[in-house]
Amino acid sequence: MQLFILRHGKAEPQLGNDAERALTESGRLQVAQVCEQRAEELSAVRALWASPFVRTQQTAGIVSTHLGLPVLTEPLLIGDTNPQEILDKLQEQARETFPILLVSHQPLVGKLLNGLCGSGDQYPFGTASLACISAEVWAYGCAELDWLQHAG
């Protein structure tokens, strides 16, 4: 099974409510560029989950346009969620649901990628970075990194 993990694009500076921060124009371009560069791989995605925060919803909207998939808002995908909660949710999904693309925040995206791959902090996760991992079971140390695409 494959899982794609995408961090939102570059967002406005935090001046107030973090959940309300929107993507900048360069953030929108970052996401569109990553979608175009990985269009072939992303065409396999069957489900698109996104954090409820504005910048992740906007990021998922760009992905949704490229893939023709609806966005499922998943409250667990906020940045400070315990990664095990995401792994539990993934384990509940039927195999036919995969590949799933998760759109989320740091530190969650980094913890998920590095935890699943058992790689410590080896793989950095900048804005609009997109990872593809494969596993038979969604548990720590049980996945392999297929590739990691950074924006830019």
Q: Is the pTM of this model over 0.85?
A: yes
- H or E stretch at 85: helix 83-91
Domain count of the fold of the chain: 1
pLDDT bin (cut points 50, 70, 90) of residue 14 is confident
**Per-residue pLDDT tens over the stretch 71-101:** 999 999 998 899 999 999 999 999 999 999 9
Domain assignment of residue 110, given as a range: 2-149
Are residues 52 and 61 in contact, defined by beta-carbon separation less than 8 angstroms?
A: no
Quote the mean pLDDT of the chain: 96
SS3 49: strand
Residue 142 maps to which CATH number? 3.40.50.1240
Q: What is the pLDDT of residue 42?
A: 98
**Per-residue pLDDT tens over the stretch 100-109:** 999 999 999 9
Q: What is the pLDDT of residue 121?
A: 87
Burial class (CB in 10 A: 0-12, 13-18, 19+), 96: exposed
Q: Tell me the DSSP string of 14-47.
A: -SS-GGGPPBPHHHHHHHHHHHHHTHHHHTT--E
